[in-house]
């Protein structure tokens, strides 16, 4: 199944690129959010709403990065396919299906209704790890910002 080293290398390289892009997007997004929160007036509710909305937007963007990666890799049949519990044929897996797979993988929910098969499994495994780390990073950021809000009164 994994004897084609060119395919394996392509999947690993694409996955490493997606992980790096997610880290950069997250870092820059948190930096921008932090700077913007400092300039919002004394309205605590607005700051919390802005902070949470920013976190959601960052995670959605990162889910889409991996969704696009999965969709693109599935265009090359040697990378594998996705088995769906809905009975869809392996070749019938669209962009939004890929984003759905990305969302359940990134959030580590893993319903199991769609399962990657073949070398593409590496991308899904790395996405789960990346999502776990990015969610933890967001939680740390949110905690630190909330500490600043509450102690700044």
Q: Half-sphere exposure of residue 62, counting CA atoms within 13 Å on the CB side?
A: 32
Q: What is the mean pLDDT of residues 101-107?
A: 96
Q: What is the mean pLDDT of residues 137-142?
A: 96
CA distances from 121 to 24, 32, 79, 112, 116 (A): 23, 33, 9, 13, 5
Model confidence at 46, in pLDDT bands (50, 70, 90)? confident
Report whether 132 contacts 22 (CB < 8 A): no
Q: Taking 80 as the threshold, does the pLDDT of residue 49 lie above it? A: yes
Q: What is the pLDDT of residue 86?
A: 63
Q: What is the pLDDT of residues 51-92, one digit of tens each?
A: 999 999 999 999 999 999 999 999 999 999 999 876 555 557
Give the pair of three-digit tokens for residue 90.
Answer: 């392996």
pTM for the whole thing? 0.90
Q: What is the pLDDT of residue 89?
A: 54
State the fold for domain 5-151. Answer: Helix Hairpins (1.10.287)
Q: What is the pLDDT of residue 59?
A: 98
Q: What is the mean pLDDT of residues 12-17?
A: 98
DSSP string, 32-58: HHHHHHHHS-S-HHHHHHHHHHHHHHH
Mean pLDDT of the chain: 90
Q: What is the mean pLDDT of residues 113-122?
A: 94
Q: What is the pLDDT of residue 2?
A: 63
Q: Taking 90 as the threshold, does the pLDDT of residue 4 lie above it? A: no
């Amino acid at each position: 199944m994994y004897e084609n080293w060119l395919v394996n290398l392509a999947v690993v390289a694409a996955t490493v690129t997606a992980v790096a892009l997610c880290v950069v997007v997250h870092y820059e997004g948190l930096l921008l959010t932090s700077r913007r929160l400092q300039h919002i007036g004394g309205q605590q509710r607005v700051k919390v709403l802005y902070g949470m909305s920013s976190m959601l937007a960052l995670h959605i963007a990162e889910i889409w990065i991996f969704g696009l990666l999965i969709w693109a890799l599935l265009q090359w049949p040697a990378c594998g396919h996705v088995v769906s519990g809905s009975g869809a044929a392996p070749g019938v897996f669209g962009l939004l299906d890929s984003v759905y797979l990305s969302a359940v993988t990134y959030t580590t929910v893993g319903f199991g209704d769609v399962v990657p098969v073949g070398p593409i499994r590496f991308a899904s495994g790395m996405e789960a790890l990346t999502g776990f780390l990015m969610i933890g990073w967001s939680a740390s950021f949110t905690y630190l910002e909330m500490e600043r809000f509450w102690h700044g009164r």
